[in-house]
Structure 1
Amino acid sequence: MQVAAVPQNEQDRLKALLKLQILDTEPDSTFDAVTSLAASIFQVPIVLVSLIDEQRQWFKSRQGLDVCQTDRKLAFCAHAILQPDIFIVEDALQDERFSGNPLVCTIPNIRFYAGCPLINEQGYALGTLCIIDRVPRQMTEQDKTILRKLAVMVMERLNEHKRKLQTEHKLQLLDLLLDSIPDALVACDSEGQLEQFNKVARDWHGVDVRHCDAELWSHHYDLYEEDGHTVLPVERIPLLRAFHGETVVSQDICIKSKNQPPRWVRCRGEQLKARSGQLLGALVLMHDISEQKQLEQMKTDFISTVSHELRTPITAISGGLDLVINQVLGPIPEKALAMLKVASQNSKRLQLLVNDLLDMEKLSAGKMDFYLQPCDLAVECQQAVAQNQPYADKYAVQLCAPNNESVRMQLDSHRLQQVLSNLLSNAIKYSKAGAEVVLSYAQLDGKIRIQVEDKGEGIPLHFQEKIFQRFAQADGSDSKAKSGTGLGLAISKAIIESMGGSIGFHSVPGQGTVFYCDFPVVESL
């Protein structure tokens, strides 16, 4: 008996075989279909998909043979992988290389063998598709052609296994990567079915939604609006918004999971598309802001308590100072009067701060009352200018309200005046002496826009994104620009939005600023 030589590229060939990760795997019907077909075509009792590793030949598929492997030294296939084409032994008893082989002398009594090498893309012969008979026989050219085609089919299935394995590895790697993200991530496919639900999301929701039916996971968690009380409507669910094409920038929601405290999260997400424009699905990331919410609530509660406690004594102090300054209680020396006026001014500033804090608290809690009724913008603008004229005169700034045509809107006049006064006072504050501040309104694109325009220094670019935040104040060398609570614009934004409008601005540093409030046109008015 002759033992087959070791291929020159043996180490690389073994690496390629091991990389397939197919050795010692379970039977596969796709391979069995080929061996069954070969047995039928060639009318042979034994057909094998044989893979040659360092010590053995292992059968991924076998027809007519009970064992799953044999020693490599006895393997006909070890000879076949040395050949570029089909290796044929017509009568093993008459071939000195195999006549003493136990596989020939005893069961399975091999007489005829034909093995076509399974060669991968790199040119390594990993094994063979072989047909075996217990009687001598020959192969025609047509037989060889058929065997080659069947070997190609086997190789295609090995490549499919490799691709599937690579995909599984990539998915495993992706899962590990997604599970390492500190934020919760959920994603759906092009059909809207949940595809990804990383570890953080599973922990927050208390269940892996991908593997549960709706009835089961609905008992584990519910989604709520930011207030933690209002159930989140289906159309407001961030992932569905993103799937339908919306860009979710910063949506705060509350997740209430079984046996867990409420969790507030900030969501951002978008639709996923291929470069060709084909819809792939949608992705949403959720960042835990529960601690931030708790701190904000603590700060709000503290400010609310302090504000309420301060309001009464400050009002009393301010009123008392006015009485003393007006010398109701008797004459006051000049020096003392000057100091009392400073104290009065500061008490009024403190009173404004407390009022702003209380307004902010009411707006945040949704407790501020709005009385909407028909208003004429021409009248409202003239009133706002008249109320702010003394402040404008103080800084030698001209106020102008050029519109006089009647435009009626459904608004809360008192709250609108509060917003206009804030915008006008800011414009005056940031304007130079002799400059003009214009309050106007116009109808455009199905909405009414009210705007305040100044020619001041404009808003610094680095500060523009913070402009509507609480206590936000731009740095400036001008002392009058530093006065104020830093709450006015935040309050104005909340008021305008509560009345169904929106507020914004555009500003060019060095050229001025325009603040505007947009409201939808109501035809019935």
Structure 2
Amino acid sequence: MQIPAKPINEQDRLLELQQLKLMHTEADANFDIITRLASAICDVPIALISLIDADKQWFKSKTGWDICDTERDISFCAHAILQPKDITIIPDSRLDERFKDNPLLTSDYPVIFYTGVPLLTKKGNAIGTLCIIDHKPKTLSNSQITSLKDLASQVESLFELRKSNLQLREVESLLQKKNEQLRKFAGTVSHDMKMPLANMILTTDILKAKYAPSFDEQGNNYLSYLKQSSFSLSEYIDNLLSYYESEELTVQNLEVFDLHDLLEDIIDLLNINEDYIINLPENGIDIQTNKSALNQILLNLITNSLKYNDKETGIIDINCVEDHAYYYIQVSDNGKGIPQDKIESIFDLFSTASETDNKGKKGNGIGLSTVRNLVHSLDGIISVSSKEKEGATFDFTIKKVSA
């Protein structure tokens, strides 16, 4: 018996095999279909997808074969990969000096006929074979040989697809780690900034109360600007914290509550003046979900409707219906609306639809991104429709939780 030699690219070949992470994995229907087809097309009892490791030959897929692996030294496929660009056809292994006294020839089901197509990576390394076996001498027609090569190409495509998927998972995992680091960094920095900002606001009030008579009008204006800027930065930090905290919320912590009661609490909190009309859903509806998440969603949407309304009388309509699977909630207004070129990006972080609100303040583009995160955390989706100068409508769903 002739022990198969090692290819000159052995280390590179083994490295690519390891990167695929296919050895000793569960059966895969995609590969099994190919071995069944190979067996049927070539009219043989056995078809295998073999992977040649450093010392072993392991079968990723097998039709008509019970053995999971063999030693590489007795492997027919280990010979086949030595000619990576050619198909290896052995009509009768008993007549081939390479396989004299090979244990696979003396078993109850001897490997007499063998044909193997090397399975190549993009770099040209043969990491295994698609092979067929019979217990008696045999020959293949040209069409059978062509079909076997075509099936081998499909196996190679599956290998490449797996490699791409593994790479994507690694990138996704890395991005998740980086995002988590960024979230923690932003949270830490934001928390650390809140106390100095509070001190700045308090110090500004003390300076104004104690030394206002000593300052001229411009000096007092500077103090007002400083306080206003501190409040704006504090609000920005609060919104940033809400955004990152929203990524951690889930549909857990369920409560059953009346939507009317929640909306009335929000309206009381906002202390809305007489220039606005808010129409609540006609019928009361009990909702079971994460109350804190829904409260923050509605608070953001209603606040935006108030801040960006330029009409003499602002109108906000809130509706809710349900079916067996979802709650459907709609918040619409008659405000400034959203420019069409902003619709696509309105939920992106730091994206704003309007230069300033009705008090002349510029938004920070965090609120609606937070809303989207919260809706997604409740297994829902959100969308917006708008006509500029006529108003905007936000529709979102909340998935019902099975009891």
Coarse TM-score class (shorter-chain normalised): 0.5 to 0.7
Aligned to 1:29: 29
Aligned counterparts of 2:64 and 2:86: Cα–Cα separation in 1: 24
Aligned to 1:18: 18
Aligned to 1:368: none
Aligned-residue offset at 1:166: 1.6
Aligned to 1:156: 157
Question: Aligned residue pairs: how many?
Answer: 240
Aligned-residue offset at 1:58: 1.0
Aligned counterparts of 2:12 and 2:98: Cα–Cα separation in 1: 27
Aligned to 1:129: 130
- The 8 Å contact of residues 48 and 129 in structure 1, kept in 2 or not, is answered as yes
Gaps of 5+ in 1: 185-197, 210-214, 252-265, 271-281, 287-445, 447-525
Q: Equivalences for 1:380-459 in 2 at 5 Å?
A: none
Aligned counterparts of 1:235 and 1:49: Cα–Cα separation in 2: 58
Aligned counterparts of 1:147 and 1:226: Cα–Cα separation in 2: 61
Q: Equivalences for 1:267-306 in 2 at 5 Å?
A: 268=365
Aligned to 2:295: 223
Instruction: Say which is worse superposed, 175-184 or 111-120, in terms of deviation.
Output: 175-184
- The 8 Å contact of residues 302 and 331 in structure 2, kept in 1 or not, is answered as no
Greater length-normalized contact order (CA 8 Å, ≥ 6 residues apart):
2
Aligned counterparts of 2:178 and 2:171: Cα–Cα separation in 1: 10
Aligned to 1:201: 246
- The 8 Å contact of residues 349 and 369 in structure 2, kept in 1 or not, is answered as no
Aligned-residue offset at 1:88: 1.4
Deviations 1:127-173 (A, max 9, x none): 00000000011223332212111111111111111112222222222
Q: 1:147 to 1:229 in 2, by over 3 A?
A: closer
Alignment partner of 1:90 is 2:135: no
Q: 1:149 to 1:200 in 2, by over 3 A?
A: same
Aligned counterparts of 1:177 and 1:148: Cα–Cα separation in 2: 44
Aligned counterparts of 2:17 and 2:73: Cα–Cα separation in 1: 18
Q: Which is greater in Rg? A: 1
Aligned counterparts of 1:248 and 1:55: Cα–Cα separation in 2: 53
Q: 1:229 to 1:77 in 2, by over 3 A?
A: closer
Aligned-residue offset at 1:284: 5.3
Aligned to 2:70: 70
Identity of aligned residues (%): 36
- The 8 Å contact of residues 49 and 128 in structure 1, kept in 2 or not, is answered as yes
Aligned-residue offset at 1:250: 8.5
Aligned counterparts of 1:199 and 1:35: Cα–Cα separation in 2: 49
Give the SS at the match of 2:178: helix
Aligned-residue offset at 1:231: 8.3
More helix by share: 2
Aligned to 2:207: none
Aligned to 2:54: 54
- The 8 Å contact of residues 116 and 129 in structure 1, kept in 2 or not, is answered as yes
Deviations 1:240-268 (A, max 9, x none): x88654377599xxxxxxxxxxxxxx963
Deviations 1:475-510 (A, max 9, x none): xxxxxxxxxxxxxxxxxxxxxxxxxxxxxxxxxxxx
Q: 1:267 to 1:96 in 2, by over 3 A?
A: same
Aligned counterparts of 2:292 and 2:76: Cα–Cα separation in 1: 61
Q: TM-score, normalised on structure 1?
A: 0.41
Q: Equivalences for 1:113-512 in 2 at 5 Å?
A: 113-182=114-183, 183=186, 200-203=245-248, 205-207=249-251, 217-219=289-291, 221-224=293-296, 235=331, 244-246=344-346, 249=350, 268=365
Give the SS at the match of 1:148: helix
Q: Which amino acid aligns with 1:108?
A: Y
- The 8 Å contact of residues 301 and 331 in structure 2, kept in 1 or not, is answered as no
Gaps of 5+ in 2: 188-242, 254-286, 305-317, 319-329, 333-337, 353-362, 373-388, 390-403
- The 8 Å contact of residues 224 and 231 in structure 1, kept in 2 or not, is answered as no
Q: 1:9 to 1:221 in 2, by over 3 A?
A: same
Aligned counterparts of 1:26 and 1:226: Cα–Cα separation in 2: 47
Aligned counterparts of 1:224 and 1:66: Cα–Cα separation in 2: 59
Deviations 1:163-220 (A, max 9, x none): 1222222222222222222258xxxxxxxxxxxxx984343x25489xxxxx764446
Aligned counterparts of 2:349 and 2:160: Cα–Cα separation in 1: 41
Deviations 1:11-62 (A, max 9, x none): 0110111111111111111111111111111111110000101111111111
Q: 1:38 to 1:269 in 2, by over 3 A?
A: farther
Q: 1:64 to 1:221 in 2, by over 3 A?
A: same
Alignment partner of 1:43 is 2:43: yes
- The 8 Å contact of residues 110 and 132 in structure 1, kept in 2 or not, is answered as yes
Q: 1:249 to 1:124 in 2, by over 3 A?
A: closer
Aligned-residue offset at 1:74: 1.2
Aligned to 1:428: none
Aligned counterparts of 2:169 and 2:6: Cα–Cα separation in 1: 33
Aligned-residue offset at 1:6: 0.4
